[in-house]
Amino acid sequence: MTRVKISTAILAVLLVSGIFSWVWVNRNCMNFVNSIYAIEENFVAGDTDGATKKAENLERDWSDFRKTASMFLRNDKLLEIERLCSSLSYLASSGSEDLPVYTEELRHMITLLRDGETPYLRSIL
Amino acid sequence: MCVVLIRSLLLYLLVIFAVRLMGKRQLGELQPSELVITILVSNIATLPLEDVDIPIVVGVTPIFALVCYEVIVSWVSLKSQKLRKLMSGSPKIIIKDGKIDPQVMRDLRFSVDDLMMSLRGKDIFDLSEVQYAIVETTGSISVMTNETTNCDPPQVVVSDGKIVVPALKNLGLNEGKIGRVLKKASAKMSEVLIMTADTEGNFYIADKSGAKPIIINNYKF
């Protein structure tokens, strides 16, 4: 009976951790996607300084997020997104026409990351 | 390199804990579900060892989840005969009263060579010595020879307070007769852990309190 109790407790902990990971990753990814939209808006409006500042904030926030998320998520996915984030501030400050391509790719990867942690049927299967 | 070393130690400790959590049942002959868990755990445990991009938490979560499911399902199986049968199957009598049952051999996909190999593993080289042989749910074979007895072995007629109907039919008994035997032994059906009976009228009754079992020999109805 002790083993059953320990097993039930472990399963409960795993379930709570799973739900926490899902909610936390989801919330943070939504915030990052919104930040990317904000960068694009500033860039399209010609406000390169605003876009650069937001890109730097995004890079910093992502780095903080990655340090904790690396305990729950595969590191290679997180590093790939970090690579894209680190390119954004340079592209924004230089007014490069490649910025929308990078932001689209970044948004797509963050959305995939979020979907991977959400228990949709397609994610499970 | 240092990271891999520490991860290996952590995984070793966690997997040992997981195997210990499964308990002694896992260390003996394996039921089908236990075999599946053992194979899965050993394969899953290698993934975070080989790939440092996989977090330890992500690596051990499926291990602990599988082990916990197994412990909980096996506990529920104690209460439910149907679940026990679904998860582990039931033993099949392949030789009864010295006669081989070809239908059971076909059902089990047990060839003659498999049968002879299993009997040789029990130091039996002559089929005529075999009175009774059962293929267990683990795939192993249990044998009763003519030297031990000439009648069929006892069967479980009451398990955890519940009547085992197929065994009653095999022995030509019914609930009424079982009730009379229990009355003689001053035992209640709900308090019986295990009760066996054979064709000679011998009964063995062990109750849930762990008291000394009651043995009734040559009971005449």
Name the token pair of A82.
Answer: 């970090």
Same-domain pairing of B79 and B103 = no
Beta bridge partners of B96: B99, B132
On whether the CB atoms of residues B73 and B33 are closer than 8 A, the answer is yes
Same-domain pairing of B27 and B53 = yes
Q: Which of residues 123-182 of B touch A (CB under 8 A)?
A: none
Q: Is B58 on the interface with A (CB under 8 A)?
A: yes
Rounded to whole angstroms, the Cα distance separating B119 from B114 reads: 9
The yes-or-no verdict on residue B11 having pLDDT over 60 is yes
Number of compact structural domains in chain B: 3
Region A11-39: mean pLDDT is 93
Q: What is the pLDDT of residues A51-103, one digit of tens each?
A: 999 999 999 999 999 999 988 888 888 999 999 999 988 988 888 888 899 99
Same-domain pairing of B31 and B105 = no
Q: Does B65 reside within a domain? A: yes
Q: Does B221 reside within a domain? A: no
Give the CA distances from residue B91 to residues A14, B126, B133, B139, in Å, rounded to whole numbers and listed in that order.
Answer: 36, 23, 10, 9
The CA-based dihedral angle spanning residues A26, A28, A31, A32, taken in that order and rounded to the nearest 10 degrees: -100
Q: Does B210 reside within a domain? A: yes
CA–centroid distance for A53 within its chain: 18
Q: Is A70 on the interface with B (CB under 8 A)?
A: yes
Residue holding tokens 């060892």? B49
Q: Is B67 on the interface with A (CB under 8 A)?
A: yes
Cβ neighbours of B21 in A, within 8 Å:
3, 6-7, 10
Tell me which of 1.10.1660, 1.20.1510, 1.20.120, 1.10.20 is the CATH number of domain A24-124: 1.20.120
Same-domain pairing of B82 and B8 = yes
Beta bridge partners of B133: B95, B143
Domain edges within chain A: 24-124
Query: Which chain A residue's Cα is nearest to B61?
Result: A14
Banded model confidence at residue B151, pLDDT cuts 50, 70, 90: low
The yes-or-no verdict on residue B27 having pLDDT over 60 is no
ipTM above 0.95, yes or no: no
Same-domain pairing of B163 and B210 = yes
